[in-house]
Amino acid sequence: MTITPDNRSERVDLRMTPAAKRTLMQAAAVENKTLTDFLLDRGLQAAFDTLADRRTFVLDDERWQAFVAELDRPPLDNPRLRELLNRRPAWEA
């Protein structure tokens, strides 16, 4: 994902210690980036990694087959759930 200055319209303000800011600025300088670009690149990568952990999961062959078998299994009869789904909603009463 390429971010150019032209399409940046949102702002985030951060409070930090002077030592934390110095460390971040040093790290940005090592990568020849502005502090903003460094924080945005690293922050987005961390966000993508965090979200990927919640959207993707990997199973070995045995567990995948068990997962698919559970998905293919017909649902158990649940009379209370059937009753709830057949009831007229309160906002339509």
49 within a domain of the structure (yes/no): yes
What domain range includes position 70?
16-92
16-39 as b/e, with b when 16 or more CB fall inside 10 Å? eeeeeeeebeeebeeeeeeeeebb
Phi, psi (deg, nearest 5) at residue 37: -65, -40
Reference 40, options 29, 50, 49, 28; nearest CA is: 28
pLDDT 10s digits, 27-42? 999 999 999 999 999 9
Q: How many domains does the chain have?
A: 1
10 within a domain of the structure (yes/no): no
Predicted structure pTM score: 0.54
User: Is the per-residue pLDDT at 5 higher than 80?
Assistant: no
Please give the mean pLDDT across all residues of the chain.
91
The stretch 21-28 carries a mean pLDDT of 97
Give pLDDT, residue 36.
Answer: 95
